[in-house]
Amino acid sequence: MSHDHSSTTEPARAVSQLTESLTQAAQNQRALLQEMSSFAREESLRFFNLRLERNEAALEKMQHCVGLPGLIGVQQEWLRDLVQDLIGQNMRLAGVLRGVTHDTVAAATAAGQHMQENAQDMAHQAEQQFHDMTADARNHLVDDERAYSDVQH
């Protein structure tokens, strides 16, 4: 039974392509996690620095306020700023999360399509090899029958 070299390397190449796709997907996930971690760290620092500035401003205003109404006014301003800062922070995080989700879904879809194409290629190659092996076996049977027939006559 003779096999050409390309028919034996095609499944290996398909498996290699599938492995490369999975490796690339893992690398993309790692890069995404690192990017998200870096963003979260930077956003946390930005938010805490903003809140420190707001606290310093509130403390300074408290030193110069007059009476209880002035103190309540500073406290209300500080609470208003806190709520606005939290809403702004949540909106930034939600926007980034939407972007990351969209990018992740797009990357997963592309990787899934690529893996499906590789799996289809592998199935086609396996079918072709089975067909070739069946044809080779059939040819050998025909040759054996002819040889037997020639010996009988």
Question: In sequence order, what DSSP letters do the residues of 111-131 get, joined into one string?
Answer: HHHHHHHHHHHHHHHHHHHHH
Question: Which parts of the chain fold into alpha helices (H)?
Answer: 5-64, 67-152
Digit-coded pLDDT (tens) for 32-52: 888 888 888 999 999 999 999
Digit-coded pLDDT (tens) for 105-139: 777 677 667 667 766 776 677 677 777 778 777 77
How much of the chain, in percent, has pLDDT values that exceed 70?
Answer: 83
What are the structure tokens assigned to 99, written together? 């972007």
Give how far Cα 50 sits from Cα of 3, 80, 114, Å.
Answer: 71, 14, 45
